[in-house]
Amino acid sequence: MAKQNDKYIEGCQGFVELAFGHSAINGKINCPCKNCKNNKRLDKDNVLFHLLTKGWHQDYRDLERWFLHNEPRQQPPPDINDSGDQSLGDGVDDYGGVDYHGLLSSLLNNPVGEGSSDPIGNDPTDVPPTETEDFHKKVQELNTPLYPGCKNYSRLSFIIELYLIKSRGKMSDVTFGEMVHLLKNAFPDINIPDSFYETKKLIRALGCDYKKIDACLNDCMLFWKQDENLDSCKVCNEPRWKPSRDSSLGKRIKKVPKKVLRHFPLIPRLQKLYALENTAKNMRWHAEERRDDGILRHPADSDAWKEFDKKHVEYSLEPRNVRLGLATDGFNPFGNMNINYSTWPVILMVYNLPPGLCMQRSYMMMSLLIEGPTGPKQNIDVYLQPLIDELNKLWGSGFRTWDASMKQYFRMRANLMWTINDFPAYSILSGWSTSGYLACPSCADNTVSEYLYKSKKVCYMGHERFREDPPPPPPTGHDVLSSIGDINVVFGLNYKNPTDTQWRKRSIFFDLPYWKDNVIRHNLDLMHTEKNIGEVLLKWLDALKQEIYDNAKEDIKKIQRPPKLKGASTPRGPRHPLCVPKLHKYHQMSSAQRKAMCDVLEGVKVPGGYSSNIARCVNSDKIWGLKSHDYHVLMQQLLPVAIRNVGLPKQMVDVIIELCDFFRRLCSKTNKAEDFEKLHTDIGPILCKLEKMFPPAFFVVMIHLTVHLAQEARVGGCVHYRYMYPVERYT
């Protein structure tokens, strides 16, 4: 560690000397530490002191962002990552994905195929994008100066950085075009495109383009492959095109589709990961540098990864084959809660990389963008067809790819390990209905649930059965296929839920030959589970009043003797007896106790970036406006402290602290399989204690899902590779 610190100090000193030699004005330069962020100018001693004590600003670790100190672009930076931080590697920009300036420089300095060994031969029909004529033409443009005598920028690198500024600043296309036009007028010798349209053409040639695939307005089908030339949907006869306004004038009008799917090809982007030497080496980290000592640090340490390798030995022998995870969720692109609009991106994560890079934004790849205004729901399988088609090709013979680190070609293949999604999206992707009496996909027909006629909701209790027998594991892929049977649905306008089963469809992921062999196919997202439990817990701590007690008393009576409702249908699946603890007076939290809890939270101060300012979300005796990560911090760190000495019964305080400790241990960055196994056996008794403290209406399905989280962590590895925080930040 001391040796690493010495290297870090030497690197910082080298940077300070170079920066003051290039850009010092009145003996001061911009300080690139975490706090100053290049916004303050300091002298040499203070800059060095800030870098050694506060560390570097995250966005200033890349060579491409050293422009504030006039650093030559081709000169390598001092090694500032020896302090323990994980380097992003060559050619990676933490904002926009692949750094094409670094990528093209690498390709130009190390031409593809030069001095290479090619064990698989030259197949002219299977040429990677880096060898296309158009791509090489754009690579040569890298040497074209931005203006005569310019040494720091080329035409292409300047445009790419300008385009990234547009993306980060959410600049409109019109504004970008006006800015380019202004630069052309102000600097006549500058060599850049004249408009935003010309800029897009330049960017597309690098393989950054997407394909537009027309879709039926009712989500019935894609106008794709053999249906590409159809003018109307073959399922519902909905016209493909919007009606033209000027058809009576006899002019040729461009047809505009009613709905479009944007498909970002996956294969070229996976091949570009191997076009850079450092990144290509990182793609083999899981096989060459990972420590196999029984501690779970990476998905490669998990049973799910190892079981897949045992079933597909030939595939596992090539460490450069890509392991992927898929995540999707809906979001409102307008940022206005008053507008009901839902756009669904489908994002892929690369798990070959070291732990510090797996979930980095730079290596997340958007594969599909499904337009709104409403979510696709069960019809998402229609839109996943292009991605599944690519994954099938990647699983088959693979694609000939140049490995810059080993200076040779190889056949790159890929497999999809699992999906990451919240609980409603779990239903959309898997086909299992996550509502009703049998909402739990792991317990399935063995789910213990009951309808509360007074509270008008389904509760999930009966966790006493998990004291001796652990919760069941999720069903295997073969069990799922046998349960689905020959179920057949028509997507789109004519879609109808099957009435005799909890399954809504046969998921399109089963079109992948290996999908049924995956130990985990769809993950229960810990982020949303923790957030929902935090919301429910705060709500019930604040709302346990006499009315709640009366409702619980009536609910329990009707559970023991349910009323016969005329014309009421019986729940699907078998009915299991619900064991309800003996009714007692539930504790009512007084206003003084609520205020004492809020006073603790209001006085909390945390480091910058740890969470939002939770004190702003506390008003007298009320907590509001917390976000998902705030609930994460609240459940694992703050709530046990806040309720410890406010006067609640000791039994209630103890069980809430045990629940918070369960989530804290579950989210550890490194762990052992036996530790997760212990959590798996501990959660059942915790829920049994909660059943004695809270009424039946407290036990929504999210409370029940906690019994399966530790089991998934034991099989799938650490949860931070399988939850939605990075995906939510990406969108």
Write out pLDDT tens, residues 576-625: 455 555 555 667 778 888 888 988 998 888 887 788 888 888 887 788 88
CB-neighbour burial class of residue 274 (10 A; exposed 0-12, middle 13-18, buried 19+) = buried
* pLDDT of amino acid 138: 59
* pLDDT of amino acid 616: 86
User: By mean pLDDT, which of 61-75, 296-310, 503-517 is the weakest?
Assistant: 61-75
* Domain range list for the chain: 2-85, 103-209, 526-730
pLDDT band for 569, please (50, 70, 90 cuts).
very low
* pLDDT of amino acid 570: 43
Return the higher-pLDDT residue of 573 and 542.
542
* pLDDT of amino acid 417: 96
Distance CA 396, CA 409 (A): 17
How crowded is the C-beta side of 226, counted as CA atoms within 13 Å? 1
* pLDDT of amino acid 584: 55
* pLDDT of amino acid 499: 78
Residue whose entry in the numeric block shows the structure tokens 């779970």 = 296
- Residue pLDDT, tens place only, 328-345: 998 888 766 667 888 999
* pLDDT of amino acid 545: 61
Distance of CA 147 to the CA centre of its chain: 41
Distance CA 74, CA 76 (A): 6
What mean pLDDT comes out for the span 483-505? Answer: 88
For Cα atoms 111, 114, 120, give the angle at the middle one, nearest 5 degrees: 115
- Closest-CA residue to 414 (of 581, 283, 595, 525): 283
**Cis ω on the peptide bond leading into residue 373 (within 30° of 0)?**
yes
**Is residue 128 scored above 70 in pLDDT?**
no
> What are φ and ψ of residue 679, in 5° steps?
-60, -35
DSSP 193-246: -SSHHHHHHHHIIIII--EEEEE-TTSS-B--GGGTT-SB-TTT--BSBPPPSS
What mean pLDDT comes out for the span 485-507? Answer: 88
pLDDT band for 84, please (50, 70, 90 cuts).
very low
* pLDDT of amino acid 76: 37
pLDDT band for 83, please (50, 70, 90 cuts).
very low
How far, CA to CA in Å, does 325 sit from each of 184, 419, 538? 44, 6, 33
* pLDDT of amino acid 119: 46
User: By mean pLDDT, which of 89-93, 416-420, 688-692 is the weakest?
Assistant: 89-93
Amino acid identity for residue 414 in this structure? A
How crowded is the C-beta side of 387, counted as CA atoms within 13 Å? 28
What mean pLDDT comes out for the span 474-481? Answer: 92
**Coil, strand or helix: which one is 10?**
helix
Backbone torsion region of residue 625, taken as left when φ is above 0, otherwise alpha when ψ lies between -120 and 50, otherwise beta = left
Q: pLDDT averaged over the chain? A: 82
How crowded is the C-beta side of 694, counted as CA atoms within 13 Å? 27
**Residue 233 in tokens:** 């949907």
* pLDDT of amino acid 290: 92
**Is residue 232 scored above 60 in pLDDT?**
yes
**Is residue 105 scored above 50 in pLDDT?**
yes
| Count of H-run helices and E-run strands, the chain | 25, 19
Return the higher-pLDDT residue of 131 and 551.
551
* pLDDT of amino acid 464: 84
- Residue pLDDT, tens place only, 249-274: 556 678 899 999 999 999 989 998 99
Amino acid identity for residue 108 in this structure? L
* pLDDT of amino acid 583: 54
pLDDT band for 160, please (50, 70, 90 cuts).
confident
**Is residue 144 scored above 80 in pLDDT?**
no
What mean pLDDT comes out for the span 216-231? Answer: 94
**Is residue 563 scored above 60 in pLDDT?**
no
- Residue pLDDT, tens place only, 8-25: 888 888 888 888 877 777
**Is residue 665 scored above 70 in pLDDT?**
yes
Amino acid identity for residue 453 in this structure? Y
pLDDT band for 96, please (50, 70, 90 cuts).
very low
- Residue pLDDT, tens place only, 192-221: 888 888 888 877 766 667 899 999 999 999
DSSP 8-state secondary structure symbol assigned to residue 42: E
What mean pLDDT comes out for the span 542-556? Answer: 73
**Residue 465 in tokens:** 């059965």
**Is residue 32 scored above 90 in pLDDT?**
no
- Residue pLDDT, tens place only, 414-459: 999 999 999 999 999 999 999 989 999 999 888 888 888 888 889 9
Distance CA 533, CA 539 (A): 10
How does strand 414-421 pair with strand 322-328?
Answer: parallel
DSSP 127-172: --GGGSHHHHHHHHGGGSBSSTT--S-BHHHHHHHHHHHHHHTT--
* pLDDT of amino acid 141: 60
* pLDDT of amino acid 552: 79
High-pLDDT (> 90) share of the chain, %: 42
- CB count within 10 Å of CB 663 equals 20
Beta bridge partners of residue 416, listed in sequence order? 324
* pLDDT of amino acid 98: 46
User: By mean pLDDT, which of 158-172, 556-570, 581-595 is the weakest?
Assistant: 556-570
Distance CA 712, CA 277 (A): 35
